[in-house]
Every structure is written in structure tokens, then in C-alpha cells.
Amino acid sequence: MGLLGFAGCKKEQVYIEYGSPPADYTVKGKVVNKANRKPIEGIRVGYDGGVYAMYGVPPAPYGPKASVTTNAKGEFKLTDRLYVVELYRNGNDKPILPVYVNDITNGLFQSEILQVGFSNATQSRKPQRGYGGEYTVNLDVELTEIDPEIMID
């Protein structure tokens, strides 16, 4: 059998898209009010900008991405498993992910889109076969209150 090129029947098959295994990308930190530095609860932090069609189904070519809501201390930990190619999208020469920060609870703060770089991320979990590891970035966000004079009823 060895002469015919058969080494054995039990072989683990690993699926890798775009030539690289998926990895977990984590952004963690705190969201505070820019004016008084107090933590803000109920702020949505996500890799996806909330582009959804009817019934929460994402339109093509968008896929659902992770999002979390800040706790009473304004803290969040956002993790999603992505392929490296998703960090180099739109001609980026460094690994970048847009992070969307929206006040979905109170509507009192301006939304932000932050371009979070992962080139200096801390490796929090090591790569294994078929898995690229976990990379973490710390990010503190200051949100500006919306002027009540310009708010529409």
C-alpha cells in the first residue's frame, strides 16, 4: 500500500478559506461620556454596522457579525471569528476592522465608527491547526452627547 501512495485512511481534513485559518479578533474596553468621563450603559459596540433587511436577515453580501452592549460600568468585550482577508478589505495595507459604537438604548450620544488596527494586538490565544489564535486590542471610547437643541421629536 505504501508504494501506491496510501499512507492511511484516517486523515484530518481542515478547511481554510483564502489560504489562512480563521482567528478570533477581540476588542475590549470602556465607553464613557466625553464631557464628564462617566461610564455609559446600553451602548452597542459591534463589528457590523447594523445593515439589515427585513426580519433581521442581513442582505447579501453582508454576513452577521458580532455585537455587544456595554454594562453598567460602560465595559464591553467584543469577539468574532474572522478570516485575515476580512481585515485587509478595501485596500487596507494594515489589519483594520471598523467598530461601530451606537447609543441604541437612550439615543443621547452621537454614533462613532472607529477604524481599529490589529497590527499591535496582543495574542491572547495561540494558533492551532486550522485556527489562527486570538488577538486582542484595548479600546476606550469617549462619546459626545447630542445637543438637545438639534434633537428632533
Q: Where are the domains of the chain?
A: 20-143
- In this structure, what is the dihedral angle of CA atoms 117, 119, 120, 123, given to the nearest 10 degrees? 110
Q: Is the pLDDT of residue 88 over 60?
A: yes
- 32-38: Cβ within 8 A, 24+ apart: 32/74, 32/140, 32/141, 32/142, 32/143, 33/109, 33/142, 33/143, 33/145, 34/142, 34/143, 34/144, 34/145, 35/144, 35/145, 37/142, 38/74
CATH architecture of 20-143: Sandwich (2.60)
pLDDT for res 76: 97
Can you name the residues that pair with 101 across neighbouring β-strands?
45, 112
pLDDT for res 89: 66
pLDDT for res 63: 59
Q: What is the pTM of this model?
A: 0.74
Can you name the residues that pair with 34 across neighbouring β-strands?
none
Q: Is the pLDDT of residue 20 over 80?
A: no
